[in-house]
């Protein structure tokens, strides 16, 4: 009797060791998986902790109390014109900056100029515009400090100004509060007045425009290709092209946009309009692919059922196929939009990396976007921008997480239970 | 032998007539020269082994084959004397007049009410909500489902049992008041009790609609139909009264099939 014909020995030594080996490999695989999850979790935790640790300080700012007496140093302006468009210019021309500088020197000593932010007078200007009565007397203003003082006060790090900061602290003149200009202003060279709102608004406008263009076009293209297009060599070619477009590096879309939208069409440079068009180009193939897969996943029996009661092809698509495919389409779209939101490279080429000191007013005004703002601030020399960079990253991550949460919500809302 | 044309069976008052129909899928010919009349007040069963073309022929009766890429129909199929492949025929309306029930129950993932109301809604048969309520109730009653679902019309049609889903699909088909109902193996996914209910329903619907049913199950054909057509390899081998087909088949191949020699 040879080996092959003898009955299988289920209890033998060889079988036992095979079982042991199988168990060991299962355990090993589970362990590797767990290790992978733990490592990525650790990286994520590290990222979040450093970001929040640095970034939280970016949302606050140190102020110093300075009394200004407008009776002694009158600001000769026409208070009736404070609502005008040129009110800012009028106040600046009246010499408010000098008054504030003088008052701070009186209060803080001769080195006040290095303690107070050079833009501090703009805070006073805003206060005056809100309440012209301030001009009639003596008031304490909380002026933003220079970024050196701000860092020394917040971190306690040793620097040229630490001694002064210690003294001001003990006198109770320093206070730390939420840095409202950060949420109100656009970029600036001075971290005391630099804000994220310009970039945030630029991002929102850009992404909204990209969505408004890419979503309907992408979904309609997918519907046409899946439901109407004949299956022939041309549609195969289109399919291959779309798949390739989705894989094209984003900077190439930037070059294309520069050549077509700016040089040829002459659209406004560095604007959310061109940015949105560029990101729409980049996102559309992703949406087409996601939508086609979602449409393919709709069971053919539903199409048959609708056709069987006499629904026209358009009715089949809009009453049945699209609603059933919508959760998948939305998930793919929002992942594509989230990628577009974090995109920097194509926007570099259309001029959105320029320093923009104003909050964009509309689709055609110069603007930047959140990731570009992060890049610009990370390049700044002033140490105050380190915190601002982290704060901007937190804002960007917050927007991304909100978009993903929206994706999950929409998917659950539209998902049909079978 | 494969070109035998079945002896013409005279149907008085036919609802649909097919004459020399050929169906091709690309190069492959699935139906060869089939001529058959479907009676108005009769249940007609198509039987035959798998792949014999009976479903293909059924689907060409309401032009569902149009949706299959490469499918081509030659010959003449008439509904009430109107050529359904004529350019003047509106295929959407045709499919409402010739309703269809599929092999696998396929209710829409919508409420029971919306499932039944969908057809009447898209064809504008119910101008008001009250009209729609009447249509839905009538269709569900005719499909023998009203008593089971009248208290939960808002529930999803997919939440019903398999047999109930299939009766819902029948209700959906009859809600648009068709002239013919095509049933493509409507019981093959159902258990014997649900099957019995569907067969009972077919009995009840006879006379109100012309019914054509494709089935694998010869007992079912014998139970529900008055006329039976036996298809083999894309040809119509024999078409006769159901009792004659099962007791006294004229063709050798029919006899072999119904006695279980092949199939």
pLDDT in tens, A355-407: 888 888 888 888 999 999 999 999 888 888 888 898 999 999 999 999 889 88
Residues of B in contact with A231 (CB under 8 A): 69
8 Å CB contact of A319 and B172: no
8 Å CB contact of A416 and B107: no
**How close, in Å, is residue B218 to chain A by CA atoms?**
26
Q: Which residue has the higher pLDDT, A20 or A72?
A: A20
**pLDDT tops 90 at residue A204:** yes
pLDDT at A408 (0 to 100): 86
Q: Which residue has the higher pLDDT, A58 or A5?
A: A58
**How close, in Å, is residue B253 to chain A by CA atoms?**
33
Cβ partners under 8 Å of residue A185, min gap 6: A193, A194, A195, A197, A198, A359
In chain A, % of residues over pLDDT 90:
39
B65, B109, B182: which to substitute to probe chain A, counting the most A Cβ within 10 Å? B109
Residues of A in contact with B101 (CB under 8 A): 308
**pLDDT tops 50 at residue B3:** no
Q: Which of A288, A301, A304, A337 lies closest to A418, judged by CA?
A: A301
In chain B, % of residues over pLDDT 90:
59
**How close, in Å, is residue A313 to chain B by CA atoms?**
9
Is the Cβ–Cβ distance between B194 and B163 less than 8 Å?
yes
B64, B70, B95: which to substitute to probe chain A, counting the most A Cβ within 10 Å? B95
**How close, in Å, is residue A215 to chain B by CA atoms?**
25
Is the Cβ–Cβ distance between B15 and B38 less than 8 Å?
yes
Nearest CB among B93, B99, B123 relative to A308 is that of: B99
**pLDDT tops 60 at residue B2:** no
pLDDT mean over A188-201: 88
Q: Which SS3 state, helix, strand or coil, does residue A308 take?
A: helix
> Beta partners for A209?
none
8 Å CB contact of B64 and A305: no
pLDDT mean over B81-110: 91
8 Å CB contact of B67 and A303: yes
A315 in B contact zone (CB under 8 Å)? yes
**pLDDT tops 90 at residue A2:** no
| Residue at token pair 């099939």 | B257
Residue B236: CB atoms within 10 A of its CB come to 26
Nearest CB among B67, B99, B104 relative to A309 is that of: B99
For B96-145, the pLDDT digits (tens) are: 999 999 999 999 999 999 999 999 999 988 889 999 999 999 999 989 89
A312 in B contact zone (CB under 8 Å)? yes
For A10-65, the pLDDT digits (tens) are: 888 889 999 999 999 999 999 999 999 999 999 999 988 888 887 888 888 888 88
A309 in B contact zone (CB under 8 Å)? yes
8 Å CB contact of A310 and B176: yes
Residues of B in contact with A308 (CB under 8 A): 62, 64, 95, 99-102, 173
**How close, in Å, is residue B151 to chain A by CA atoms?**
21
Distances (CA, A) of A367 to A188, A211, A251, A270, B19: 13, 18, 19, 6, 71
Q: Which H, E and C letters describe chain B, residue by residue?
A: CCCCCCCCCCCCCEEEEEEEEEEEECCEEEEEEEEEEEECCCEEEEECCCCCCHHHHHHHCCCHHHHCCCEEEEEEEEECCEECCCCCCCHHHHHHHEEEECCCCCCCCCEHHHHHHHHHHHCCCCCCHHHHHHHHHHHHHHCCCHHHHCCCCCCEHHHCCHHHHHHHHHHHHHCCCCCEEEEECCCCCCCHHHHHHHHHHHHHHECCEEEEEECCCHHHHHHHCCEEEEEECCEEEEEEEHHHHHHCCCCHHHHHHHCCCCC
8 Å CB contact of A309 and B107: no
8 Å CB contact of B106 and A299: yes
8 Å CB contact of B106 and A312: no
User: B91 to chain A: nearest residue by CA?
Assistant: A310
Q: For A49-53, A162-166, A242-246, which range has the lowest pLDDT when averaged over its residues?
A: A162-166
User: B104 to chain A: nearest residue by CA?
Assistant: A301
ipTM above 0.90, yes or no: no
Tokens of B163: 């047999």
CA–CA gap between residue A265 and residue A350 (Å, rounded): 13
Phi then psi dihedrals of residue B236, to 5 deg: -85, 115
Nearest CB among B93, B158, B175 relative to A418 is that of: B158
For A320-348, the pLDDT digits (tens) are: 999 999 989 998 998 899 999 999 999 99
A232, A309, A415: which to substitute to probe chain B, counting the most B Cβ within 10 Å? A309
């Amino acid at each position: 009797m040879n080996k092959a014909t003898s009955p299988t020995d289920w209890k033998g030594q060889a079988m036992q060791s095979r079982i042991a080996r199988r168990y060991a490999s299962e355990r090993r695989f589970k362990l590797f998986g767990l290790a992978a999850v733990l490592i990525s979790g650790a990286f994520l935790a590290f990222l979040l902790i450093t970001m929040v640790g640095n970034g939280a300080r970016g949302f606050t700012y140190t102020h110093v109390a300075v009394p200004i007496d407008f009776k002694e140093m009158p600001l000769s302006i026409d208070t009736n014109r404070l609502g005008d468009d040129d009110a800012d210019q009028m106040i600046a021309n009246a010499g408010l900056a000098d008054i504030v500088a003088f008052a701070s020197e009186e209060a803080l000593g001769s080195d006040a100029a290095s303690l107070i932010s050079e833009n501090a007078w703009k805070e006073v200007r805003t206060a005056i515009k809100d309440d012209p009565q301030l001009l009639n007397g003596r008031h304490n203003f909380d002026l933003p400090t220079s970024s050196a003082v701000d860092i020394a006060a917040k971190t306690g790090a040793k620097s040229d100004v630490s001694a002064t900061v210690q003294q001001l602290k003990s006198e109770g003149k320093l206070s730390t509060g939420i840095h409202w200009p950060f949420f109100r202003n656009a970029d600036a060279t001075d971290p005391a007045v630099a804000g994220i709102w310009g970039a945030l608004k630029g991002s929102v406008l850009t992404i909204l425009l990209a969505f408004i263009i890419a979503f309907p076009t992408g979904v309609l293209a997918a519907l046409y290709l899946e439901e109407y297009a004949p299956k022939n060599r041309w549609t195969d070619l289109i399919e291959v092209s779309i798949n390739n477009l989705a894989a094209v590096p984003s900077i190439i879309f930037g070059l294309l946009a520069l050549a077509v939208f700016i040089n040829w069409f002459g659209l406004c440079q560095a604007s959310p309009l061109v940015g949105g068009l560029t990101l729409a180009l980049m996102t559309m193939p992703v949406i087409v692919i996601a939508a086609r897969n979602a449409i393919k996943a709709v069971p053919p029996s539903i199409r048959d059922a609708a056709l069987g009661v006499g629904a026209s092809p358009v009715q089949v698509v809009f009453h049945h196929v699209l609603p059933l495919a919508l959760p998948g389409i939305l998930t793919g779209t929002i992942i594509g939009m989230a990628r577009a939101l974090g995109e920097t490279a194509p926007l570099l080429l259309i001029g959105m990396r320029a320093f923009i000191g104003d909050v964009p007013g509309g689709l055609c005004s110069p603007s930047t976007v959140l990731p570009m703002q992060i890049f610009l601030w990370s390049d700044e020399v002033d140490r105050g921008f380190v915190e601002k960079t982290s704060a901007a990253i937190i804002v960007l991550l917050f927007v991304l997480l909100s978009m993903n949460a929206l994706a999950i919500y929409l998917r659950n809302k539209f998902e049909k239970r079978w | 032998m494969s070109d035998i044309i079945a002896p013409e069976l005279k149907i008085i008052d036919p609802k649909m007539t097919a004459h020399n129909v050929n169906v091709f899928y690309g190069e492959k010919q699935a139906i060869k020269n089939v001529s058959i009349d479907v009676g108005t007040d009769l249940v007609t069963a198509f039987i035959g082994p798998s792949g014999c073309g009976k479903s293909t022929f059924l689907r060409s009766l309401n032009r569902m084959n149009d949706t299959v890429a490469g499918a081509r129909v030659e010959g003449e199929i008439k509904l009430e004397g109107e050529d359904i492949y004529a350019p003047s025929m509106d295929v959407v309306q045709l499919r409402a007049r010739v309703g269809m029930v599929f092999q696998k129950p396929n209710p829409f993932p919508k409420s029971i009410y919306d499932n039944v109301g969908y057809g009447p809604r898209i064809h504008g048969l119910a101008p008001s909500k009250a009209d729609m309520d009447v249509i839905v109730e009538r269709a569900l009653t005719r499909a023998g489902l009203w008593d089971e679902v009248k208290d939960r019309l808002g529930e999803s049609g997919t939440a019903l049992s398999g047999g109930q889903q299939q009766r819902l699909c029948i209700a959906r088909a009859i809600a648009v008041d068709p002239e013919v109902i095509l049933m493509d193996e409507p019981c093959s996914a159902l258990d014997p009790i649900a099957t019995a209910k569907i067969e009972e329903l077919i009995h009840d619907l006879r006379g109100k609609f012309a019914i054509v049913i494709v089935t694998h199950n010869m007992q079912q054909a014998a139970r529900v139909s008055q006329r039976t057509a036996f298809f083999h390899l894309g040809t119509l081998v024999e078409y006769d009264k159901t009792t004659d087909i099962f007791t006294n088949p004229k063709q050798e191949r029919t006899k072999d099939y119904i006695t279980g020699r092949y199939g």
